[in-house]
Amino acid sequence: MKTAQKNKSFTLWPYAIVFCMVCFMAYIAMFVYKAMNQDVDLVSKDYYEQEIKYQDQIERVRRTQALGDVMLNYRAEEKSILLQLPATYQGMNVTGTVTLFRPSDDKLDKQIPLQLGRDQSQLLEVGDLESGLWKVRVKFSANNEDYYTEKTIQLK
């Protein structure tokens, strides 16, 4: 009679194992769904065209370094970036743009015209930008030569 009572006893273990498996499968399905709906963009829209012109970019960077480094100093307390060209550009007609590039979201990119003062500097206000990683790209020309520099900053 003891064996008959053992066979009629009820246990929750099979149900618990099935429940855990169903929860795990639901978690994996939710993870796959979120991964498939993640917005994955290239760094820029015209990536391949930029890649072809990369040798020109290397030449611009070399010319910039030969005349002196362009200083880009982020001031967290003032929420500004100070752009300072070296004295070798003094007296040259310098024109160009400053691009504030957000690698994680191209919709936040901002382009500012280069407007240098007498001391070859420009103060860029960045208080309206989101905190995070930004690349400050300065592309300018002087005396019919193109120049380029870039610096990565962390806005707080």
Q: What is the pLDDT of residue 24?
A: 97
- pLDDT > 90 fraction of the chain, expressed in percent and rounded: 24
- Residue 112 domain flag: yes
Tell me, yes or no, whether 32 lies in a domain.
no
Question: pLDDT for 57-89, tens place per residue?
Answer: 888 889 888 888 888 888 888 888 898 888 887
Average pLDDT over residues 13-20: 94
On whether residue 139 sits in a domain, the answer given is yes
Domain that holds residue 125: 47-155
Higher per-residue pLDDT: 4 or 28: 28
Asked whether residue 85 is assigned to any structural domain, the reply reads yes
CATH at residue 84: 2.60.40.3080
- Flag whether 74 is in a domain: yes
Position 98 scores a pLDDT of 92
CB half-sphere exposure, 5, CA atoms < 13 A: 2
Contacts of 69 (CB under 8 A, 6+ apart): 86, 149
DSSP lists the bridge partners of residue 103 as: none
Structurally, the chain folds into a number of domains equal to 1
CA distance 54 to 138: 16
In a domain, 100, yes or no: yes
Q: What is the pTM of this model?
A: 0.64
**In percent, how much of the chain has pLDDT > 70?**
92
